[in-house]
Amino acid sequence: MIRVALAGNPNVGKSTLFNALTKLRQHTGNWAGKTVETARGEYDFKGERYQLIDLPGTYSLAVHSQEEAVARDYIQSGQADGVVVVCDATCLERNLILVLQVMELTGKVLVCVNLMDEAKRLGIDVDLSALEKRLGVPVVGTAGGRQEGLENLKSAIARLVGVDAPASPRREVQERVTLAERYAAQVVRNQEEGQLRRQQRLDRLLTSKSTGIPLMLLLLGLVVWLTVAGANGPSALLTALFARVGVVLEGWFSETPAWLSGILLDGVYRVTAWVVAVMLPPMAIFFPLFTLLEDLGYLPRVAFVMDHAFQRCRTCGKQCLTMCMSMGCNACGVTGCRIIDSPRERLIAILTSSFVPCNGKFPTLIALITIFFVGGRAGLLASLEGAALLLGTLVLGVAGTLACSRLLSATVLRGMPSSFALELPPFRRPRVGEVIVRSVLDRTLFVLGRAVAVAAPAGAVIWLMANVMVGNSSLLAHCTGFLDPFAKLFGLDGVILMAFILGWPANEIVLPVMLMSYLATGSLVEFDDLAALGQLLTQQGWTWVTAVCTMLFSLFHWPCSTTCLTIYKETGSVKWTALAVVLPTVLGLGLCFAVSATAKVLGLG
């Protein structure tokens, strides 16, 4: 097998090329630092098998960071039969610095000038054969996103394998940079200034003092609104569908012992069906919209606009990017924290990652908002109101993140902000079709699959707890009764707290567990009608104060089991993982206590 490493600056489309060549699905997006692990994939070309190693994107190989060490060690180890340095055609000059650096380590170098389509759109023309002459190594042009130039690239890689060229002599930094500048001046022609100016106009609109923050809130609000408004119909449809399937299944299970059909049907099936019905539609809307913004290159602009707030909290503005990822899934957000170089700032970002509500919390938040604050109404106005309130909840999550980051910076993780350099890549036209397919297949189904894998066994456990009798009442009732006095202090009740505890494997099942306990029928009951759900909760003594406290606790409590495990993996420390659990829990309980106590004193609710 022939081994070929892909090296290059961050965000030059390395992962897109990797995916196109290997048919694998490494996540891509228009911002620097997505590839946090070295991915490997294989492809066949003319009867030979090639292994492709996607090295982390780096600006240099001077070993200042983990990624650079990984990239440099691999290239120097001689394990690769060739190194492909992927360059961004829209920013060739800077990319050539790395090319020259790699050429000082090995002679088996192929330069792949990627994003040729983007460069063309921006009126930038790169003379590839002139570049080949200057550098003295083969140069290929590609447009990875459009699958253009891949065959050329493959045959160039095949030709590279036999080459035994010596590495070029070591250069000083200044010398390398000047050389890159000269080569770029000789091979790059900038024909059209108009496109660049258009890019800058868009940039100014999205980041300026008067429009930057309003537009950011508007865009986030729009995404949230489309999610809230669009998910209702499909959710109801799925619920109805699962109910029908449930009836059929009941027929099949009529002969089996009651306890078995109870576990399988009322436990596993109902909980799983609920999770799919309430989770799938919002995710299938949220993820593609979010991926579109990511593909466009908007996320680094958000980090740019928000950086000042993070700077004041003495943390890194890139934390904003990991928070965006946390909105999809907290565990992804935790892994994403590797883009933050400073260990102190990275740890702060990890510890506060669960402060941003993930997709799994959306259904609970949306349901409570609709029942208690929009009055269970439907229609455009109601969905706008609901979206505004959900947006408010998100903003509260961001505020919590900032406050806690500041607190950590002043206490256990004391320190000043480290240096910060964030690249704002050119806006790219989002590849709409591909974005939808990719985000639904890769993200939505991945997260849903994980939630279902958790929901199914959890369903069995919940059913058992609700049906195993100890004395006069069920195990579940005993537990909720035990928790009740404590929970009441915080404006919650035993059932709510128990639901959050049982929901540790996945936040999606919190609401169904709550319902199951309240109904004490020992199984999950379908609620396609939010008004009926509202009635049930009110009968159980819920007021708007209970709803606020439950929402607050949903926003700020222990991270789900997957996130906890990921935090442990990333930090390698039980102590930090414990802090990541304690921090949001204490904040959540504190806020709940404050709200319920204030309401009591003022005689509200």
Partner 1 sequence: MYEALCLSALKEGESAYVTQVNAGPAMDRRLMDLGLVRGTRVTCVLRSPAGDPCAYLIRGALIALRRTDADGVALERQAQAVPAGAVAT
Q: Which of 77, 164, 174, 574 binds partner 1 (CB under 8 A)?
A: 174
Task: Give the Cβ contact number of residue 585 at 10 Å.
Answer: 17
Q: Which of 116, 180, 289, 440 binds partner 1 (CB under 8 A)?
A: 180
CB of 177 to partner 1, least distance (A): 5
Task: Give the Cβ contact number of residue 264 at 10 Å.
Answer: 18
**Tokens matching residue 54:** 């996607």
Q: Which of 6, 7, 52, 92 binds partner 1 (CB under 8 A)?
A: 92
Q: Which stretch binds partner 1 (CB under 8 A): 225-233, 234-242, 297-305, 572-580?
A: 297-305
Query: CA-CA-CA-CA torsion for 178, 179, 182, 185, nearest 10 degrees?
Result: -100
Q: Which is nearer to partner 1, 304 or 373 (CB)?
A: 304
Q: Which of 164, 209, 472, 541 binds partner 1 (CB under 8 A)?
A: 209
Task: Give the Cβ contact number of residue 205 at 10 Å.
Answer: 13
CB of 51 to partner 1, least distance (A): 28
Cβ-Cβ contacts under 8 Å for 4 (sequence gap 6 or more): 50, 51, 52, 53, 80, 81, 82, 83, 84, 157, 160
CB of 342 to partner 1, least distance (A): 9
x/- mask, partner 1, residues 147-166, rule CB under 8 A, reads --------------------
132 near partner 1, judged by CB under 8 A: no
What's the CA gap between 439 and 359, in Å, rounded?
A: 14
311 near partner 1, judged by CB under 8 A: yes
x/- mask, partner 1, residues 246-285, rule CB under 8 A, reads ----------------------------------------
Cβ-Cβ contacts under 8 Å for 366 (sequence gap 6 or more): 228, 231, 282, 386, 390
Q: Which is nearer to partner 1, 308 or 377 (CB)?
A: 308
CB of 99 to partner 1, least distance (A): 12
| DSSP symbol at 148 | B
97 near partner 1, judged by CB under 8 A: yes
Sign of CA dihedral 154, 155, 161, 163: negative
CB of 97 to partner 1, least distance (A): 6
213 near partner 1, judged by CB under 8 A: yes
Coil, strand or helix at 5: strand
Contact (Cβ atoms closer than 8 angstroms) between residue 168 and residue 103: yes
Q: Which is nearer to partner 1, 313 or 502 (CB)?
A: 313
208 near partner 1, judged by CB under 8 A: yes
Identify residues 56-75 at the interface with partner 1 (CB under 8 A).
59-60, 62, 64
Q: Which of 201, 214, 136 is nearest to 168 (CA)?
A: 136
Q: Which stretch binds partner 1 (CB under 8 A): 284-292, 298-306, 329-337, 541-549?
A: 298-306
Q: Which stretch binds partner 1 (CB under 8 A): 15-23, 179-187, 406-414, 588-596?
A: 179-187
Q: Which of 502, 480, 503, 504 is nearest to 493 (CA)?
A: 480
Place of tokens 């980090």: 303
Q: Which is nearer to partner 1, 61 or 160 (CB)?
A: 61
178 near partner 1, judged by CB under 8 A: yes
Concatenate the DSSP letters of all residues of 364-394 into one string.
Answer: HHHHHHHHHTSTT--SHHHHHHHHHHHHHHH
Q: Which is nearer to partner 1, 23 or 209 (CB)?
A: 209
492 near partner 1, judged by CB under 8 A: no
What's the CA gap between 95 and 115, in Å, rounded?
A: 12
Identify residues 405-444 at the interface with partner 1 (CB under 8 A).
417-426
What's the CA gap between 435 and 288, in Å, rounded?
A: 6
593 near partner 1, judged by CB under 8 A: no
Q: Which of 86, 305, 368, 497 binds partner 1 (CB under 8 A)?
A: 305
Q: Which stretch binds partner 1 (CB under 8 A): 22-30, 106-114, 299-307, 511-519?
A: 299-307
Concatenate the DSSP letters of all residues of 194-219 into one string.
Answer: HHHHHHHHHHHHHHSTTTHHHHHHHH
Size of the site for partner 1 (CB under 8 A): 47
Contact (Cβ atoms closer than 8 angstroms) between residue 120 and residue 195: no
H or E stretch at 470: strand 469-470
What's the CA gap between 509 and 523, in Å, rounded?
A: 13
302 near partner 1, judged by CB under 8 A: no
Site residues, partner 1 (CB under 8 A) = 59-60, 62, 64, 90-94, 97, 173-175, 177-182, 184, 200, 203-204, 207-209, 212-213, 300, 303-305, 307-309, 311, 317, 417-426
